[in-house]
Every structure is written in structure tokens, then in C-alpha cells.
Structure 1
Amino acid sequence: MNLFSDIRTLVTEALDTLAAEGTLPDGLPYDNVTVEPPRDPAHGDMATNAAMVLAKPSGLKPRDIADALAGKLAGDDRIDVAEVAGPGFLNLRLAASVWQGVVEEILAEGAAYGRSDMGQERRVNVEYVSANPTGPLHVGHTRGAVFGDALASLLDYAGYDVTREYYINDGGAQVDVLARSVYLRYLEAHGQEVAFEDGTYPGDYLIEVGERLKQVHGDAFVGQPESVWLDEVRSFATEAMMDMIRADLAALGVEMDRFFSEKSLYGTGRIEAALDSLAAKGLIYEGVLEPPKGKVPEDWEPREQTLFRSTAHGDDVDRPVKKSDGSWTYFAPDIAYHYDKIERGYDELIDVFGADHGGYVKRMKAAVSALSDGRVPLDVKLTQLVKLYKNGEPFKMSKRAGTFVTLRDVVDQVGPDVTRFHMLTRKNDAPLDFDFDKVLEQSKDNPVFYVQYAHARIRSVLRKAEAAGVSPSDTPQLRDEAEVAVAKALAEWPRLVEIAARNHEPHRVAFYLYDLASAFHALWNKGNDDPSLRFLQEDDAAASAGKMALPRAVAVVISAGLGILGVTPVEEMR
């Protein structure tokens, strides 16, 4: 059930009737006709722009269309008042029975309420985290992991066939640096004094890896040149880091469907195949790029390179895929990776990148557009930085990581549920402050607590009702405006799901849950002053049974919304 969709159907059917009667011309386009909440709730429950958008194609005045449409809608049992406002907006007030029907529908559908078939099982690949396997995940990765995972869940809820994917960047020079760092820890495990230089990773997290390397290989690599041990240590260290990353993700409640290795693209012909596909379309050529904009580096000189004509697909400049020495640029395997996704048959691709990858968006979109002939859209979502605070002061670095605060630091401090919810209290491209004290604060200003408190209150009252022998009814009693306000908030859930999924914005779910919780707490608090609004009516089991319907419906929707965010609803607050 989607009440807004139902009322829009009512509007378009009324427009069809007006066309059949000759009031409107036939064949008017309804694509831009909307039914939405009015900006000012005092104007009604819903508003439609039908008269405004149909005025020009019909050659009629908006107000005349709105008057005629209002007359048709007023005859429907669901419409209490249809009122024309301004130049032709039509405000609608719905009958009380509609809001009762919303609650009944939620209780009938249960967890299915709000689920959508909008996605029509279209296959979507959501790639997120994809951190270099050189150490534990840091707080920036945490935000990307939470956002990507919630987005994947949201799309699944909206009817898409979703794959969660992690791209392991194990084909570049940074993995050689990791191997050298682990080798130093290996020598340290053999009692040698070592120094971390040349950009090697000094974090304590590699101590255990070095000791494990010693356990497996003994002293076979001690004193040996790099050519003897580099390949073996690189493979060993990468797998150890991926084990650590998988454990970190598990601690956050994130489980990937697929891990894809960049290294698997090298020496297998897969990079060549992707570039051959572009070459066949005339998009690969040999050329010389213009010097960088701004101050030109002293060592810059024009070199002929193999270039991808990305400007043909919306990029600012063409991009090199092979260096003048014949080696691949870092862009080449990324092209091949996305070509692989396209070849796997995905209908849509979504990449979740950190804010520092903003300059990479256009070239990647150009590559996917070219590889798929524009058939497969790529949406790149950038997650902005997270600033950590504790006791009002910036949170210090993790000694274990050496240079940054880890995902585990955050989860160990506040738990996965609080971490996930708070990471979604801002839009992904907006900076986020994460204060360890405030996210645990039990107040209305803390959205995590406020939403969970609403669910805990409901579970508490349901336990008390059961203890009192009350059998909840599925027929709600909605007599007060505060009760109706909660039902109206519940009615917006299916519409919110589709808007959030269409725009790839899971933060909207967190915002919605806060608003729903606010409406519920307002009703609860009103019941403190007016006993007739309390869910449990003393010595009146029949009245209590009817009162139970509304909070039960709220619990269904809160549970569904938290499920999308990857947060477990609490049964009680402690």
C-alpha cells in the first residue's frame, strides 16, 4: 500500500473522466502530475500540481482545471475536502477512515508494508569500502561501509536485485610496500632491530602478521634479497590484511557478496580485452596530453601515451591508460574492472568513494558509458570526512594503526548500531561530526536514542498489555489529532522508501525514523496529561485492545527502517 500513489491514481482517473466528458482535451501527459505532502501542513494532508502542469498543454486556465478536478475528487469517500488554492494548486484533506485504514494495512501486511517493486528486479552492483589491503579500516572507510551497506539494503527493499562488492586494490605498488613492512616485522620477530623508512607502514597491527610469517616460514627469508621473498610475503600479507578487513566489516555488521581482486586482471588479458572494446569504438589512440592546468611541474615533458578519448563521453580531458614506458596507468585496471561488471550483466552500477576521489568521477563515468554504449548508468557517491570528538576534544589517533583512528576504535567505543545510525544522520556528501559522548546521550537531540526509545516504549507497553491479559485488536482507535498525526507519518513510509531508493539516499530513512519517533513521543507525552490517550486504559481491556493497534504499527515501521540501516531495534532501554 502506498497511499500517495493511490491518491495520485485517483487524481489521474478523475482527469480521465474530465477528458471523457470534454472538459479536458484527450491525451494529456500525466508524467509530471504529483501528489505530495503540502509544504504547510495547515493546508491539508496532500496537494496535487495537476492543474498547474496541465494548463499549458490543455490551453486552459489552471484554476479552471483545479475547480473541475476538485468537483470530481470530492465525490470519492477518501476525500473529505478538495480545496483550490492560489493560481491552481489543489489541497486535499482525507477522511478519518483513510488514516485508520493505514494502520490496519500495516498490521495486515507486517514486514511487507513499505516494500516496493519499483526496482523490478533490475540487477544493481554496489561497490563500497574497497580500501587498499594495507591495514585496518579507518573511520573514513567506516562511513563508506555504512552508507554503501544501507544503500544496498534500501535498494533490495525497493525491489532491486543487489550485489554488494568489495574491490581489492592488490595490484599496485602499495602492496609491495606492505610486503616490505611485514618483512621488517618478520625480522623483528627474529630478534633483529629494524627501522621503518621509505614510507613503510609502522602500525602495531603488523606485529602479529610478522610473527605468523615466522611461524610459517621459519628463518627461510632472513638475510635473503627481496627477489627471494617479495612475492610470497606480498601474498601472505595481503591475505592477512583481508582477514583483518573482513573481521572489521563483520564487527560493523557488513557482509559482502563478492570480493574482486585487482591482481586478477593482470596477465590474464582482461585489461587488454576492455581496452580492445574501447578501441573498436575508436576511443583509444596514441597522443600527447596538454600540460596540467596551473603551475606546470618542473619534470613535466610531453610524452606520447595511449589515451582513452573520455571527452567523447563527458569528461574534461582524455585520460592515459598506458604510460610511455608501456606499463598500465592505475586507470586501466579500473576500466577493466567495470567492464567485467558490465559483462556480468548488471543493469546499474554504483561506486561509493571517499571524498578524495572526487576528481575520478567523470573519467569513470565516461569509461562505463563508453563500455556499455550508454546502456548501464554509473552513479558515484562520495562520502565526506568524519571528524571525531570525545569530551569536546578531537579524538586522538590509534596507536595500533599508527596514523589514524580505526573502524574498530569507533565500534568498540559505541557499538555497531550507534555507529551505523549516526553515520547516516547526514547526507553522504556532507561533513559529519561524530562525538563519542553525544551519540550515547539519552536525549531528544540524539536521533539514535530517540528512535530506539520509541521502539523500546512500544515493546514495554505491549509486554504490560500481555501481562494484563489484553488481546490487541487490529482495528485502531484514532480520535485525537496526535493519534492521527502518527498515522499520517506511517502513511509516508512507502513513498519515502521509493524516493530514497530512486535518489540513492539512505540518510532519508534515518531522518524519517526520527520524525516518526517524534510524532509517537508527542502522543505518548500527551497521554501523560490526558489519560484517555494512554495505550493501556485502566480496567478497560476492550479500549486497551483498540489502543494497541497504533503503537504496534509504529513498531513494524521502525523495525523495517532500522533493518535497512542495519540497526537492531532494542526491546528495552537500560
Structure 2
Amino acid sequence: MNIFKDLWTDLKNIGYELCQDDDIWDQANLEIPKDPLNGDISTNLAMIIAAKDGSNPREVSLKFKERLAEIPYIAHIEVAGPGFINFTIKAEKWHECIRSILNDDKDFWEVDVGRGEKVNVEYVSANPTGPMHIGHARGAVYGDALANVLSLCGYNVTKEYYINDAGTQIDTLLDSVFLRYKEALSGEVVVIPEGLYPGDYLKDVGQKIAAEFGQALIDMNTREMRQKIKNIVVNEMLALIKADLRDLGVHHDVFFSEQSLHDSNKINDAVKILEEKGLIYKGVLPPPKGKIDENWEEKEQLLFKSSEYGDDQDRPVQKNDGTWSYLAADFAYAKDKIDRGFDTLVYILGADHSGYVKRIQAVINALGEGKIRSDVRISQLVNFVKDGEPIKMSKRSGNFMTVSDVTNEVSKDIIRFIMLTRRNDMTLDFDFSKVKEQSKDNPVFYVQYAHVRTKSIIAKAIETIPEAYKKFAASEFDLSLLSTEEEIQLIKLLASWPKVLALSAKSCEPQRIAYYLIDVASRFHSIWNLGKENNDYRFNIEDDVDLTAARLALAESIRKVIAGGFSVIGVKPLDKM
């Protein structure tokens, strides 16, 4: 049972006589008021109607109030503010939610807001030049959790990684590996010039190439040498990245090669389409804003009219040497996704790519002719500290902290949860000392401990009040006994899971799940602490079998909701701590 689905169905069945406009019903929604004095659930339906036909929203609300009084599980209806309709739901309806949780009711656990819409979620897409740095890990966790949320909400999701295996960063990588190859041959330490990749991880690649080719690459011309070793090098780097992703519990369905777009002539095809649309032209860009670049010169080049789609300026399609720009590859990649039938394209980009948002949206709008939705999200930086001090960079990587540096310190479950305790577009502080603490200030411990505590409650009942456990196990409990204000508020929170899940999907904010779990844990721990001083709040009451059985049902519902939320964000619940 999904109380929001039930109320919306009844609201529409009764209210449709007052408003037959399907667009209105698509725009209106049900929300949980921030102030509990405004009822349990609220709708803006009357204000949506009034905004469209010019009527008075409060008068519309009052008309609905008269009719909606027929719904049997509504205890009270109030018209508030400019025209909100606020509902107070009877306790027995909330109690039904507990049975839905325990019975694995599909309506409760899954919310079909996606209706099969095909969504491509591209995330991480780190350059294959070395192991993943921890900034990529935030985007990896965010993208992976988002894809899980969307899948559970009825979207047909593909998790994709774009391999940037073409361009200057690969040239730099090959130069770096060639030096490590020469080092492996000679046994003498080489000095890595500034601008190349200095990490020790490339030594293994150099040794592997030396073992396969011996001295043969030394006398080859640069072009031939690069062709010989490129696939080996890129595959080795991808192996490092995939290992890091596995350590984070991240799995992609598709790894898409940028080089394949160049090799298949798809870039030329995509550029031609945009030329036919009149969106490609030869022109001159204005000089860069801000600091004067002495090397800049006014030059005619091929440009994309991205400014017509909200970008700050038009963008170059070709580099100065006549090769395709990174944006040109984006044309072909976007067209490939569109050709694969996706309705929505989600991009999760790092903090250093904020300037790409508008141009990517422009590309999708141009090629998709406004029919393909795009959503570009930025994952901001992660600041790592320990005992109040910033953590130094990794020696192995050369210039950054790797995912393996962090997973060697804490588990992937801690990393995943902490990465979702703040909005993705805000900087996140990751304190190694705090995430290892067993205190309420550590959100991971706080929620995990709630899960462990529910298990402990049930285990203790089996041992000390077996009659209550038998009633609970046989579903012979009376939920009306869960009548304290604290219990009712916790049950209402548990019942809001479908709403939280739907909002997480629609807003592309999987962090809502983490916030929700923290809230559930907080309310549960509060009731538990009340029981230390007042026996009326204890879960296991030896002289009250019926109340204990009902509270065991509540405890198991809490456990299942926490475990369900953990599953969505990729965290394993603990049974003991």
C-alpha cells in the first residue's frame, strides 16, 4: 500500500467531476508539509486550477473540501494559505503501511514514475591515464546511486562510461609510458619532465611493454610506436579504473570509446547534420575574457551556434591544426545515444567541467530537435582531512589521492554513504577521523546502528518473550496498540518511503535517500532512548505480549526500510557492530 498513490487515486476519482482537465492533474501534486500543524499530506491542486482559469484558489479548495470528505480514511481537511488543501489521515491508514512494508507490497517498495522511459546515465568517464582520483569517486557514487533510484522507479536505465581514449591527454600518456618503457629496458631511473604523468603506476606498464617488444620500439618512428602500444596502454589504464570502480561497488553496462567515433567517421556525419541545420559556420571568436593571452590571435575557424541554445558563446568545432575538437566528438557521441533510442541523457561531470553544461545541453537540443531531455549534473570537490589536517596527495599517483588510497582506510560502504550526505553540487568534507567514530555525529554509524538495534530487539524477544515473537511471526499483532505520538510520527515517516523514492528520481537527487535514512534512524533512536527512562516506550515488555508483538512489527518495518534504502544507494546493512 502506497498512501500517496491511494490518496491521489481517490482525490482524482472524486475531484474529476470538478475538474476534467488532464493537464491540471498532471501538474498538481501531493507533498508532505514541513510543519506537522499543516496536516499529514497537502496538495496544490486548487491553486493549479485557479492559475489556469483565473478563479479564486480558496473558493476552489472549499469546493474540493466538501467532496473529499467522502474519503473514509481522512480524519480532517483544512484549506490553508492561498489555497492548499491539507489532509490529516486516520491512524489506521498509517498502520496499514506497516503491513505493506512487512508483506513486501510492490506498491510500497517500487514507484513507477518512469513508465519505461529510456535513460542513459553517463558518469565517471575519467581519462584513462591512471587510477581514479577521489574526486571521480564522488561522481561514481552519485551516478551509480542515481541509476539505481531511476531503475527502481520504472525507468529503463543504461549505466555508461565514456572512454576519452583520443586527444592530447592520450598523447601525453603515451609519451610518459615510453619513458617508463626505456627505464625498464635500461634499468636506470628516468626523470619525468613536467607536463607528463609521473605516477609509479606507469612503471608496471613500461615493464609489460618491454617484455613484449624488447628493443623493437626504440628504432621505430613515433607514429608507428604509438600505434603499437596505444591499445595496451589504454587497456591497462582501464583495468586500473575498473578495479577502483569495483572497490566502490560501481558497475557500468557500457564502456564507450571516443576513438571509435573517429575511426567510424561518425564525427563527420554528425557535423554534416548540424551543417544542414545551419548550425555550423566559419567565424571568429572574441578574445578570451579576463587575463590577456599573449598567444591568442584572431583566426577564422569552424564554429557551432551553441549560443542559439543558451550557451554563453559559439564553440569551435575544429582545433587550430584542423583536427576535430572535443566538442565535435560530443556531437557524434550524443547522436549515437539518440540513435540508440534514449529519451533522456544524464551527464555526471566533475567540478572542472562546469563550463561544459550549457554546450552539452546545446548539442542535445540541436541534434534531438527539442525532443530529447538532457540533465547535466556537476559533482563538486571532496576535501579530505584527518585529525583536522588536510591529507597529503598520493605518492603512487604522483599528484592526486586515489580511490585505493581511501578504500585502504575505510570501507566502500562508508565512502558511498558519506558521498551522499551532501548535495552533489556542494563541496563535501570527508573527515577520516569522524567516519570511524562510533557516535551519533557519524551518520554512517548512526544509521547502521539503527539497523543492528532492530535485529537486537527481535533477537531479545525470541529469548525472553517467545509468545510475543510467535504472534509477530504469525502476523497476529494488533497495530492499533502503536498509539504514542512518537510511534505514529515514526510510522508516518516510514510510510513516506515511496514519496522519497519518487522525489529522488524526479529531482535526480539520490542523496535524499541518505537524508531519509538518517531521519528514520534518529526517530527510532529517540524512542529507544525514551524507553530507558520510561518502560511504556520499551520495545520488549515482558508483561505485555500484545504490545511487544506490535512493536516487533514496528522494529522489523524500520529494519526493512533501512535495508531497502541502503540497497538503493549501494550500502550493505550490518547485522552486528
Do they fold alike, i.e. is TM over 0.5? yes
Mapped partners of 1:176, 1:162: distance in 2 = 34
Equivalent residue, structure 1, for 2:564: 560
In structure 2, what is the Cα distance between the partners aligned to 1:130 and 1:39?
38
- The two structures have a TM-score, normalised by structure 1, of 0.93
- Spell out, residue by residue over 1:163-208, the C-alpha distance to the aligned partner (whole angstroms, 9 max, x if none): 1111111101211221221222222223123111141111111122
Q: Which amino acid aligns with 1:441?
A: E
Give the Cα separation in 2 of the matches to 1:520 and 1:77. Answer: 30
Q: 1:406 to 1:107 in 2, by over 3 A?
A: same
In the TM superposition, residue 216 of structure 1 has moved relative to its aligned partner by 2.1
Q: Which residue of 2 aligns with 1:415?
A: 411
* Aligned counterpart for 1:292 among listed residues 280, 288, 292: 288
Q: Identify if the C-alpha distance between structure 1 residues 273 and 63 changes in structure 2 by more than 3 Å, giving closer, same or farther.
A: closer
Q: Equivalent of 2:65, from 70, 73, 81?
A: 70
2:28 to 27, 30, 33: 33
Deviation per CA, 1:409-452: give whole Å up to 9, x if none. 11111110000000010111001000001112222222111111
Tell me, in whole angstroms, the C-alpha distance in 2 between the residues paired with 1:43 and 1:319: 50
Tell me, in whole angstroms, the C-alpha distance in 2 between the residues paired with 1:57 and 1:218: 76
Q: In the TM superposition, what is the alpha-carbon distance from 1:305 to its structure 2 partner? A: 1.5
SS of the aligned residue for 2:349 comes to strand
Letter in 2 for 1:42: L
Q: Distance in 2 between matches of 1:346 and 1:70?
A: 42
1:521-536 to structure 2, matched below 5 A, reads 521-536=525-540
**TM alignment of 1:365-444, pairs within 5 A:** 365-444=361-440
Tell me what 1:172 maps to: 167
Q: Distance in 1 between matches of 2:143 and 2:51?
A: 42
Taking the TM superposition and a 5 Å limit, the aligned residue runs for 1:181-220 are 181-190=176-185, 191-220=187-216
Partner AA of 2:78 in structure 1: E
Instruction: Please report the TM-score for the alignment, with normalisation by the length of structure 2.
Output: 0.93
Question: Which of residues 98, 102, 109 is equivalent to 1:103?
Answer: 98
Q: For residues 137-186 of structure 1, what are the alpha-carbon distances to aligned partners after superposition, in whole Å with 9 as ceiling and x for unaligned?
A: 00110101011101110100111111111111110121122122122222
Match 2:553 to one of 527, 546, 549: 549
Give the letter for the 2:454 counterpart: I
Query: In 2 relative to 1, CA 122–518 (structure 1 residues): closer, same or farther, beyond 3 Å?
Result: same
Which of 246, 252, 256 is matched with 1:250 structurally?
Answer: 246
Q: Secondary structure at the match of 1:548?
A: helix
Shift of 1:224: 5.3
Q: Distance in 2 between matches of 1:316 and 1:330?
A: 18
Q: Name 2:277's counterpart in structure 1.
A: 281
| RMSD, matched Cα | 2.2
Q: Taking structure 1 as reference, are residues 483 and 384 closer, same or farther at Cα in structure 2, changes over 3 Å only?
A: same
Once the two structures are TM-superposed, the CA of residue 61 in structure 1 deviates from its matched residue by 4.3
Q: In 2, are the aligned partners of 1:28 and 1:58 still within 8 Å (CA)?
A: no
Match of 1:510 among 505, 511, 514: 514
**Contact map agreement 1:25 1:58 (CA 8 A) in 2:** no
Q: Give the C-alpha shift of residue 227 in structure 1.
A: 4.1
Unaligned runs of 5+ in 1: none
Letter in 2 for 1:377: R
The secondary structure found in structure 1 opposite 2:170 is: helix
Deviates most, 46-55 or 190-199? 46-55
CA contact (8 A) 2:28 2:48 kept: yes
Work out the number of aligned pairs and report it: 568
Would you say the 8 A contact 1:49–1:89 is kept in 2?
A: yes
What SS does the aligned partner of 1:508 have? helix
In structure 2, the residue matched to 1:235 is: 231
Say which SS state the counterpart of residue 250 (structure 2) adopts.
coil
| AA of the residue aligned to 1:350 | V
Look up the match of 1:116.
111
Cα displacement string for residues 97-142 of structure 1 (whole angstroms, at most 9, x for unaligned residues): 0111111111122576331111111111111111111111001101
Q: Distance in 2 between matches of 1:69 and 1:111?
A: 30
State the distance in 1 between where 2:142 and 2:266 align: 30
Q: Does 1:3 align with 2:7?
A: no
Secondary structure, counterpart of 1:322 in structure 2: coil
